[in-house]
């Protein structure tokens, strides 16, 4: 029986859990013309630059790369020459919004706009984010604000997606699947 593909999919897990790799493998299995939407742009930091280059090599040349640190909704609603968009990662996107000095109300509006764009997208959307609620309580007010917003963002994304997959130790656990 052929697997029914969801319109939107959410891979969530801890740092270095394997969520990006699993999301990329899912896209490679089901789509011919994938688009990778990077929310972190090429960095001047040598370690980050090396990580980004490893990710690019792992994906291969058939992936189209778009770097968009802030305006994901606009990107999802523009015509793209791809049959799926993989956004990696929403946690970095949230960080970019915080660094742009958006207040919580503006961030919530950005999230609402993103979710509307996901629902209206002409192609399936696969999203990746970090689960930040399994660790310690951050020491600083900014750290707690980030944790709270990231937790809220993840809940909103999970609610709108047809399939949600939690990743731990490189293993997927399906939390939600309305396509079955």
Domain contains 4: no
Q: pLDDT at residue 118 above 60?
A: yes
pTM of the predicted structure, to 2 decimals:
0.91
Mean per-residue pLDDT for 12-37? 94
**pLDDT per residue over 83-102, tens digit each?**
999 999 999 999 999 999 99
Sheet holding 64-67, edge to edge: 64-67, 34-38, 84-88, 125-130, 8-13, 163-168, 171-177
Domain contains 8: no
Domain contains 110: yes
Q: Which of 30, 33, 55, 62 is catalytic?
A: 55
pLDDT value, residue 44? 63
C-beta neighbour count of 85 within 10 angstroms: 26
Domain contains 43: yes
The CATH number of the domain where 131 resides is what? 3.40.50.300
Domain contains 154: yes
Domain contains 120: yes
Percent of the chain with pLDDT over 70: 94
Which residues lie closer than 8 Å to 170 by C-beta, 6 or more apart?
A: 17, 18, 21, 22
- Structural domain total, the chain: 1
Domain contains 11: no
Question: H-helix or E-strand containing 30?
Answer: helix 19-30
Boundaries of domain holding 66? 23-175
pLDDT value, residue 50? 79
Q: Is 62 a catalytic residue?
A: no
**pLDDT per residue over 103-114, tens digit each?**
999 999 999 999
Q: pLDDT at residue 128 above 90?
A: yes
Domain contains 156: yes
């Amino acid at each position: 029986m052929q697997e029914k593909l969801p319109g939107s999919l959410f891979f969530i897990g801890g740092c270095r859990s394997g969520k990006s790799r699993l999301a990329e493998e899912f896209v490679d299995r089901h789509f011919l013309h994938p688009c990778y939407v990077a929310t972190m742009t090429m960095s001047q930091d040598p370690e980050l630059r090396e990580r980004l280059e490893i990710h690019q090599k792992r994906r291969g040349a058939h992936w189209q790369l778009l770097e968009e640190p802030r305006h994901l909704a606009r990107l999802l609603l523009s015509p793209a020459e791809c049959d799926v968009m993989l956004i990696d990662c929403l946690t970095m996107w949230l960080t970019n919004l915080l660094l742009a000095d958006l207040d919580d109300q503006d961030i919530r509006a950005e999230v609402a706009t993103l979710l509307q764009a996901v629902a209206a997208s002409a192609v399936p959307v696969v999203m990746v984010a970090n689960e930040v609620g399994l660790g310690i309580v951050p020491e600083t007010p900014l750290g707690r604000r980030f944790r709270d917003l990231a937790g809220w963002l993840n809940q909103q994304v999970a609610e709108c997606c047809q399939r949600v997959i939690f990743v731990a130790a490189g293993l997927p656990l399906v939390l939600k699947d309305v396509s079955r």
